């Protein structure tokens, strides 16, 4: 299975309670963009994830599954109301 790298751009910050938190501030498929983000300041970094090259098809399939689950819940609710 072919895969590609996904770079999640992160930033460290201090919240109102004085705790250091890391937040995701962007996503890129480009290593140079991720390295440029890290070079902007010491609080910036990125994480690398390998994802399947067919992630678009997987995302579409996930949306279809979600829609079918919603439809099933609607049908079940209609069946329960019909039995009352």
Segment 31-52, tens digit of pLDDT = 999 999 999 999 999 999 988 8
pLDDT over 90 (residue 83):
no
Residue 49 CB contacts under 8 Å (≥ 6 apart), including other chains: 5, 6, 7, 8
Residue 38 CB contacts under 8 Å (≥ 6 apart), including other chains: 44, 45, 46
pLDDT of residue 84: 79
| 9-36 tens-digit pLDDT | 999 999 888 899 999 999 999 999 999 9
């Amino acid at each position: 299975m072919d895969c590609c790298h996904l770079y999640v751009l992160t930033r460290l910050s201090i919240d109102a309670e004085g705790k250091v938190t890391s937040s995701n501030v962007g996503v890129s498929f480009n290593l140079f963009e991720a390295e440029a983000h890290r070079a902007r300041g010491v609080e910036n970094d990125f994480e690398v994830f390998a994802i399947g090259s067919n992630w678009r098809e997987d995302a579409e399939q996930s949306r279809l599954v979600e829609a079918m689950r919603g439809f099933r819940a609607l049908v079940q609710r209609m069946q329960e109301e019909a039995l009352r």
